[in-house]
A and B are shown apart, each in its own frame.
Chain A
Amino acid sequence: MFQLLKQIAIIGIKTEPAPAPDESLRVSKALSAQIAKRFHGALTIRHVDAGSCNGCELEINALNNPYYNLEGLGIRFVASPRHADMLLVTGPVSRHMELALKRTYDATPEPKLVVALGECACTGGIYGESYATLGRVSNVLPVDICVSGCPPTPLAIMQGILTAIT
């Protein structure tokens, strides 16, 4: 126990400042004013893997490391879409995930913010559209914010999320 506490004290606080929002990431402006008022920066997110290569998930997980400390900003990942304000969708939408993605969207209460995360989610990426994939997320759901990158860096993801709620 002593070692553990000593380590915590030695390492100290590593969290770095969050990036500023970037309006260029916004693809739909309809909700922004209302959301800024309602959320005051606090937000719950449900991640949905619609068919990624798992790279985007690695960077979502990195958001909770001490450097980015997303929870420190009042932004949390939740276990159910019913508790979520935002869906963070990764990957091209595989045809086998279409139904699950739509059901997750239906289960999410309004205002149902949707962030398409990564090249695949934004454009279909290298997989494109085929017998197995429907391509970009906006082919299946209305998308508010697109964060490109393969995978997008944690800072880019944070910026996308923050842009959605400011």
Chain B
Amino acid sequence: MKIGNLELAAEELPGAVPAWGAEVDASQWLAASIHAEASGGRLLALWGSDRSDGAKPRFAVHAALVVQPGIIVMTLPLSEETYPDVSNVFPAANRMQRAVFDLLGLRATVPADERKWLRHAAWPPDVFPLRKDFLGDGSAFESYAADHIDDYPFVSVAGDGVHEIPVGPVHAGTIESGHFRFSVVGERVLKLEERFGYKHKGVEKRFEQMDCVTGAKLAGRISCDSTVAYAWAYAMAVESACGGEAPSRAAWLRALLLERERVANHLGDLGFLGNDAGLAFGLTQFSRLKEDMLRLNAAIFGHRYLMDLIVPGGVLIDVSAEESSRIRAECDALESELLLLRSIYDEHPGLQDRFIGTGRVAPELAARLGLIGLAGRASAQAWDLRAQFSCSPYDRLDVHMATHRNGDVAARVIVRFDEITESLRLIRAILEALPTRATLAQLPTAAEGATGIGWVEGWRGEVFMALELGPAGAIRRLHPHDPSWQNWPLLEHAALGNIVPDFPLINKSFNLSYSGHDL
């Protein structure tokens, strides 16, 4: 396969998404990254694995690059515990590489930033939980943890009148736990530095104690606001590893759930964005619409957030004709309410004054640092898997991608409005063309060592999973990747030059996942 001008021997991977796998050496690892970047490609995910119960040598690092025809998953087997740094090619690699070191002890050489990332003080720096010979339940490190705190070396800003505001991990509102360190002069933000990993729950290690059937539940709990996207990506990965496929009705129903998840989250965000800009009316109205939708989810699908409905092989739900007309009626009602609320938002001078120009990420910066998903589209990064690498049923739905060039809070609001409208159209189209037949298929048994990938455009952005199976369907390694990895670093830039009181608004306009990132 060709990456820019580089020819790389790669093998097409089975499954729903266009993907190739290639084993590379250290120079190809770097060259492929450089060529991918130069030809408009980007880094999707970077992770490591301990293959002591499978291939030799023991360790490998992997990177998924998005290039013109699809994903290329590079595997670099390591004879030593180091590999070439790509963070100067793809800045988004910085935190991913640091996480690889914290969990597996594999070091990128020589990165500009060698600080720890996911590790705080719960285990010592020379212990690596994702190694196969690490079997600890954590109690072994309690005395270490008791004597140490997370002494993270923040970058400090010096100068006249500069002071720091530490915020978190426990925040003032009902949001997830994480730390923000602001350096400010007066009210203006000179620098924002994030510190995450507080919510690290050992998700990847936990997967390795599961098999591909039981893993579906955990996949849906990596970041619940995107449970459908995660469950679908997981099912896709298992199906491609097994060489099986979900029936076509199941694929359409998955898309129905995914679009409902998108609409519900966007409605919630639009409410909070109004509220954070001082219009409580917005929160009341949008949270009402979201609640209506969640209630219909509970009535038809049995769960407000649609958890545990997508499994490898298909879906556990179906939609009757009567239910389908209820969903359609909901779409109609929602559409007219949305039109009205949108015009109220558009014409509210106070609200627009807070939205416009706030938290801006210019398209050039977004491109250089690799902003993706919804926030990326609001900064002219035109990536939407549903439109570009569309698997069934999106290949039949002709998805219209919403984009904007301004990259400010206002643009992220507009993209949300546009995406809801498009999702409502998609929901109607899906119900219209829903194929008949089964919703669940038996999957063939996978061979030991089989690999698979999943890639789904969730409401926040691309959710990616790379799976390797062990004997009898056990999970040998599963790496889930949340789009927040790419987008959190951009929030640090978006806040610059803004006033501290606008930060909650800017943060909400990105609405990134802590849990999906901390794993």
Contacts and interface: CB of A to CB of B under 8 A. Distances in A.
A130 B202 contact: yes
Q: Which 3 A-B pairs have the closest CB atoms?
A: A55-B224, A132-B202, A95-B122
Contacts of B290: 62, 65
Contact of A47 (B174, B268, B285): B174
Contacts of A79: 172-173
Interface stretch (B9-17, B81-89, B193-201, B361-369): B193-201
B515 interface: yes
A126 interface: yes
Contact of B175 (A49, A131, A132): A49
B56 interface: no
Contact of A57 (B129, B176, B198, B294): B176
Given A53-B224, A131-B137, A7 B285 contact: yes
B217 interface: yes
Given A55-B221, A57-B176, A95-B200, 13 more contacts: A7-B341, A49-B175, A49-B176, A51-B200, A51-B201, A53-B222, A53-B224, A54-B225, A58-B268, A62-B294, A130-B201, A130-B202, A131-B122
Interface string B155-192: 00000000000000110111111000000000000000
B399 interface: no
- Of the candidates B150, B173, B217, B224, the one having the most CB atoms from chain A within 10 angstroms of its own CB is B224
Interface stretch (A20-28, A30-38, A97-105, A140-148): A97-105
Contacts of A95: 120, 122, 138, 145, 200
A121 to B, nearest CB: 13
A130 B221 contact: no
15 contacts: A49-B170, A54-B513, A56-B224, A58-B225, A58-B268, A60-B174, A61-B287, A62-B294, A65-B288, A77-B173, A97-B198, A97-B199, A100-B198, A131-B134, A132-B202
Contact of B202 (A80, A104, A133, A150): A133
Given A66-B284, A67-B288, A94 B138 contact: no
A92 interface: yes
B87 to A, nearest CB: 24
A33 to B, nearest CB: 30
Interface residues of B, number: 61
B177 A100 contact: yes
Contacts of A56: 224
Q: Chain A contact residues (Cβ within 8 angstroms of B): what range?
A: 35 or more
Nearest to B203: A127
Contacts of A77: 173-174
Contacts of B305: 55, 58, 151
Nearest to A50: B177
B153 interface: no
Interface of A: 3-4, 7-8, 11, 14, 46-62, 64-67, 77, 79-81, 91-92, 94-97, 99-101, 104, 125-134, 150-151, 153
Interface of B: 120-123, 129, 134, 136-138, 141, 145, 149-150, 169-170, 172-177, 197-203, 205-206, 217-218, 221-225, 227, 268, 281, 283-285, 287-288, 290-291, 294, 304-305, 307, 340-341, 343-344, 347-348, 513-515, 518
A53 B343 CA distance: 34
A35 B239 CA distance: 54
A130 B136 CA distance: 8
B123 A131 contact: yes
B501 to A, nearest CB: 13
B138 A126 contact: no
B281 A55 contact: no
A150 to B, nearest CB: 7
Contacts of B227: 55
Task: Give the secondary structure class of A's interface.
Answer: mixed
A5 B12 CA distance: 58
A127 B160 CA distance: 47
Given A64-B287, A94-B198, A130-B137, A54 B176 contact: yes
Contact of B201 (A64, A92, A101): A92
A59 to B, nearest CB: 8
Contact of A94 (B137, B201, B288): B201
Contact of A131 (B205, B218, B284, B347): B205
A72 B519 CA distance: 36
Contacts of A50: 177
Given A7-B340, A8-B281, A55-B305, A132 B200 contact: yes
B222 A131 contact: no
Contacts of B284: 65-66
Contacts of A132: 122, 129, 138, 200-202, 205
Contacts of A94: 198-201, 518
A97 B340 CA distance: 43
B91 to A, nearest CB: 25
Given A48-B170, A97-B198, A11 B285 contact: yes
Nearest to B292: A67
Given A65-B290, A94-B201, A126-B218, A49 B177 contact: yes
Given A58-B225, A129-B137, A51 B199 contact: yes
B285 A57 contact: no
A3 B205 contact: no
